[in-house]
Amino acid sequence: MSTLRVTAEVLTVHEHPDADALELAQVGLYRAVVAKGVYRTGETALYIPEQAVLPAALIEELGLTGRLAGSDADRVRAVRLRGELSQGIVCRPKALAGVDLARAAAEGTDFAAVLGITKWVPPVPPTMDGDVESAPGLLSWVDIENIQRYPGIFEPGEPVVLTEKLHGSACLLTYAADEDRVYVSSKGFGARSLALKEDPRNLYWRATRGHGVAEAARRLADRLGARRVGIFGEVFGAGVQDLTYGADGRRESLGYAAFDVSAEIGGAVRWLAAAEFLEGELPLVPTLFEGPYDIDRVLEVASGRETVSGRGLHLREGVVIRPVMERYSPVTGGRAIAKAVSPAYLTRKGGTEFE
């Protein structure tokens, strides 16, 4: 998931192609459907992104009672309005009436706390839960921002790799060579430096044992002379999410695909290319494109049918974009990495979104 920031943004307003009373307000590469005549290009307004949970008073003020997602009808998600994809909410809440939004936009002020807006946290099914223990040495995963929200992460023409983004649950495994010990965690627990105690019923332990992930991490640590190796993979199959990729969820056929690797070598943690260091060791997420960065090409590849099953059973969730040469991004304040999500995936019916 992406980080949650509720910020003021300079808008670009477009005509709605199929509604005289509506327009499209653009933020980054996102577009949100708005009432016609309320905003003009160059003006500033607040942008509330997808996965934001709004307080009841703000929902009522914005006229969105009963129109948002979730059991409490309080969560922002992508919708199609008169045929156009609307992602996020553009507004000017009364609580910010005295705020200089243009200045706030320039300074990047986050209004989430002021407005009582929080980030939606997906539920954790019992198979993904379990007893935990402190694991300060666990190598954790990072939040990936959407390229449509932050289009400046990559430069046009920069060599990049697009891998398929799978709809499963992220599994973190760290092998600590000094202890000869394996730590397994989920993205949510890993962000709090917690590891799941070994349990044969637990989804992540089943997947890592079934696919020999710990053994692959040990071999890589020996090969690199690393103190720690982290392998990050997606667990999928029946009972994990609504897209199964043909895996029925049993122990012997629970799906797993590695998408990233990190290693502590000489006291520094480095990110490594999974395709280079785990080829032949573990199943990997499919590489869909390698070449010069072009946003139109990225968005084209993000849509279509999945390739994991080899049968195109489902729509594609999207892609993850990485530079060929790992680097820092001043836009994210960390790794240069981003995702692009398929509109069809965002607006599918009956989808699950577990941690």
**Structural domain boundaries enclosing 297:** 126-346
Q: Report the C-alpha gap between 239 and 342 in whole angstroms.
A: 22
The pLDDT, as a whole number, for residue 249 is: 56
Q: Total structural domains in the chain?
A: 2
Same-domain pairing of 182 and 288: yes
Residue 232 counted as domain residue: yes
Residue 2 counted as domain residue: no
Same-domain pairing of 202 and 254: yes
Residue 99 counted as domain residue: yes
Same-domain pairing of 145 and 242: yes
The pLDDT, as a whole number, for residue 252 is: 53
The segments of the chain whose pLDDT lies below 50 read 251
Domain end position, chosen among 119, 144, 172: 119
Domain CATH for 231: 3.30.470.30
Q: pLDDT tens digits for 262-318?
A: 999 999 999 999 999 999 999 999 999 999 999 999 999 999 999 999 999 999 999
Same-domain pairing of 284 and 149: yes
SS3 218: helix
Same-domain pairing of 316 and 217: yes
Same-domain pairing of 25 and 73: yes
> How is residue 294 written in tokens?
């072009």
The pLDDT, as a whole number, for residue 354 is: 72
Residues in a beta bridge with 260: 232
Locate all alpha helices (DSSP H) within 181-288, ordered by sequence: 187-190, 203-211, 213-224, 274-277
Same-domain pairing of 41 and 151: no
Domain end position, chosen among 119, 149, 178: 119
The pLDDT, as a whole number, for residue 194 is: 95
Domain end position, chosen among 98, 119, 140: 119
- Average pLDDT in the chain: 94
Same-domain pairing of 62 and 152: no
The pLDDT, as a whole number, for residue 1 is: 56
Closest-CA residue to 181 (of 238, 229, 240): 229
Q: pLDDT tens digits for 206-246?
A: 999 999 999 999 999 999 999 999 999 999 998 898 999 98
Locate all alpha helices (DSSP H) within 241-282, ordered by sequence: 274-277
Q: Report the C-alpha gap between 49 and 148 in whole angstroms.
A: 11
The pLDDT, as a whole number, for residue 129 is: 84
